[in-house]
Amino acid sequence: MENQRRWPVAIIGSGNIGTDLMIKVMRGSTRLEMGAMVGIDPDSDGLRRAASFGVPTTAEGIEGLLKLPNFKDIKVVFDATSASAHRTNWELLKETGVRVLDLTPAAIGPSCIPVVNMEEHLEETNLNMVTCGGQATVPIVAAISEVAPVRYAEIVSSVSARSAGPGTRANIDEFTETTSEALVQVGGAAEGKAIMILNPAEPPMLMRNTVYALVEGEQDHTALEASIGKMVSKVQEYVPGYQLKQAVQFETFGAENPLYMPGSGEFRGTRVIVMLEVTGAAHYLPAYAGNLDIMTSAAMAVAERWAENSGVESHLTETTLQEVGA
């Protein structure tokens, strides 16, 4: 068993996601503490805030992190840069043995959606946290798959353009590919498709997600609603602002009105439509950016579970709450 100290963690990428995650670790984690904040832009808000909180910082990227005197103590590195930067970072990190949680859609390791498959990934060295859209929608597809086979799952994820930094914009293609794969691998759909919208509307819109799932045959609507409702409650345990925007909708396609699917012909069965909204905790950006919370809360939940699994006990956070002015 480990000693009972909190696990020091490092975050690479001092942008929207990295800064939100740092604040969450400092305000809310009972098993983790900030060991380092790593960027490449010395003037970034994230590095400035980290320094003001007394967190060790470097603006020399991964090389700077590896040179920090306390790197040997770091137990988990969160990568919140971009898919291409993560590939480079991983090449250096994998030699060190430190465990890495990838918040970019580089998809080097297996995909993790904590409420669905966290317990299968307690020993990974590189775990892929998919995307914000994936964290919001794959649980719903998994909940539907528990009741009936999902032939096709399509998700549309809309986030405020203001909440998507250059790192997000650099890997939009990877977003769609990685999310589509997770709908299949973790959600259990036979086929998956993801669409992302960076909506520039002002005032900024809350994160919205729509899940369309085609399930074979006549289905028990009550059982589907119950399974989806249970899953929403599980996600709310770490993202309280995650909610159904309206009741689950069902559409039936029978012999007289089949749905034509390009590439695979006629579909007869039920289309399940789930509309979700995610209000953020406003730890960094305002509450419209639920897309930050759904990713950073999921990643933090995994790191905390890893720490717990290694014997780190839960510590109350009153001191750090005061330190960060919460």
Ligand X SMILES: NC(=O)c1ccc[n+]([C@@H]2O[C@H](COP(=O)([O-])OP(=O)(O)OC[C@H]3O[C@@H](n4cnc5c(N)ncnc54)[C@H](O)[C@@H]3O)[C@@H](O)[C@H]2O)c1
What's the distance, Cα to Cα, between the start and end of the chain in Å? 33
Q: Of the two residues 12 and 300, which places its CB atom closer to ligand X in the complex? A: 12
| Per annotation, catalytic residue among 132, 184, 235, 312 | 132
The residue number whose beta carbon is nearest to ligand X equals 15
User: How many whole angstroms separate alpha carbon 190 and alpha carbon 180?
Assistant: 11
Position 101 contacts ligand X (CB under 6 A): no
The binding track of 63-82 with respect to ligand X, each residue x by CB under 6 A or -, is -----------------xxx
User: Residues 112 to 131: which contact ligand X by CB under 6 A?
Assistant: 131
- 132 catalytic? Reply is yes
Q: Of the two residues 167 and 269, which places its CB atom closer to ligand X in the complex? A: 167
Position 11 contacts ligand X (CB under 6 A): no
- 64: which residues sit within 8 A by CB, 6+ positions away? 38, 58
Closest distance to ligand X from the beta carbon of 118 (Å): 17
- CB-neighbour burial class of residue 5 (10 A; exposed 0-12, middle 13-18, buried 19+): middle
List the one residue from 29, 126, 157, 168 that touches ligand X (CB under 6 A): 168
Q: Give the other-Cβ count within 10 Å of 201's Cβ.
A: 11
CA distances from 53 to 27, 56, 57, 64, 323 (A): 12, 9, 10, 19, 7
Position 157 contacts ligand X (CB under 6 A): no
User: Residues 206 to 225: which contact ligand X by CB under 6 A?
Assistant: none
Closest distance to ligand X from the beta carbon of 174 (Å): 7
Position 248 contacts ligand X (CB under 6 A): no
User: How many whole angstroms separate alpha carbon 13 and alpha carbon 30?
Assistant: 23
Position 179 contacts ligand X (CB under 6 A): no
Q: Of the two residues 16 and 219, which places its CB atom closer to ligand X in the complex? A: 16
List the one residue from 9, 10, 17, 140 that touches ligand X (CB under 6 A): 17
Q: Tell me the window of 38-46, 110-118, 189-197, 220-228 that interacts with ligand X (CB under 6 A).
A: 38-46
CA distances from 157 to 106, 117, 154, 175, 179 (A): 18, 22, 10, 11, 10
List the one residue from 6, 9, 16, 93 that touches ligand X (CB under 6 A): 16
Position 139 contacts ligand X (CB under 6 A): no
User: Residues 285 to 314: which contact ligand X by CB under 6 A?
Assistant: 291-292, 295
288 contacts 160 by C-beta, under 8 angstroms: yes
Position 165 contacts ligand X (CB under 6 A): yes
Position 85 contacts ligand X (CB under 6 A): yes
Residues contributing to the site for ligand X (CB under 6 A): 12-18, 38-41, 44, 61-62, 80-83, 85, 103-105, 131-132, 159, 163-168, 171, 291-292, 295
Active site residues: 132
